[in-house]
Amino acid sequence: MSKPAGLLSAKSTSSSKSTSSGSLCFIWRLCSLSGAAASKLSENLFIMNEELELTIEKTVFEGRALARQGRFVVFVDGALPGERIRARLSYRKRRYAFAQLLEVLEPSPQRCASGCSAFGTCGGCSLLNMDYAAQLEQKRNFLLEALHAWPDVAACVAPVWGMEDPYFFRNKMVYSFGGSAEAPVLGMHRRGDFHAVVSAETCRLQSPQAQEVLRRVLAWTRKHHWAPFDERAKTGLLRDLTVREGKRTGQRMVMLTTTALQAAVTELPGIVGDLATTVLHGISPPLHNAARLERVEILSGSGVIAEQLNGLTFEVGVSTFFQTNTLQAEKMFSLLAQWAADAQPRVALDLYAGTGPIAFHLARLGRRVIAVETHPESVAAARRNQQRNNLPAIEWLAADVEQAPEAVFASQPDLIVVDPPRTGLHPRAAEKIVAAAAPHIFYVSCNPATLARDLPRFRAANYAVKRIQPLDMFPHSYHVESLLWLSRA
User: What is the distance between the alpha carbons of residues 212 and 250, in angstroms, rounded to a whole number?
Assistant: 15
Neighbours of 86 (CB within 10 A): 17
**DSSP states of 301-344 as a string?**
S-S-EEEEETTEEEEE-TT----SBHHHHHHHHHHHHHHHHHH-
CA distances to 323, 353, 358, 363, 454 from 374, rounded to whole Å, are 17, 8, 15, 20, 20
User: What is the distance between the alpha carbons of residues 121 and 101, in angstroms, rounded to a whole number?
Assistant: 12
User: What is the distance between the alpha carbons of residues 284 and 295, in angstroms, rounded to a whole number?
Assistant: 7
- Residue 387 backbone dihedrals phi, psi, to 5 degrees: -65, -40
Across the strands, what pairs with 190? Answer: 122, 193
Measure the CA angle with vertex 448, ends 447 and 451; round to 5°: 90
Nearest residue to 89 via CA among 32, 31, 14: 14
125 in catalytic set: no
3-state secondary structure 25-92: HHHHHHCCCCHHHHHHHHHHHCCCCCEEEEEEEEEECCCEEEEEECCEEEEECCCCCCCEEEEEEEEE
Neighbours of 289 (CB within 10 A): 7
Instruction: Work out the angle between the directed axes of helices 427-436 and 448-459 (0-180°, nearest 10).
Output: 40
**Which of 401-414 are b and which e, b meaning 16 or more Cβ less than 10 Å from the residue's Cβ?**
bbebeeebbeeebb
Residue pair 291/257 in contact (Cβ under 8 Å)? The answer is: no
Measure the CA angle with vertex 171, ends 168 and 174; round to 5°: 100
State the catalytic residues.
Answer: 446
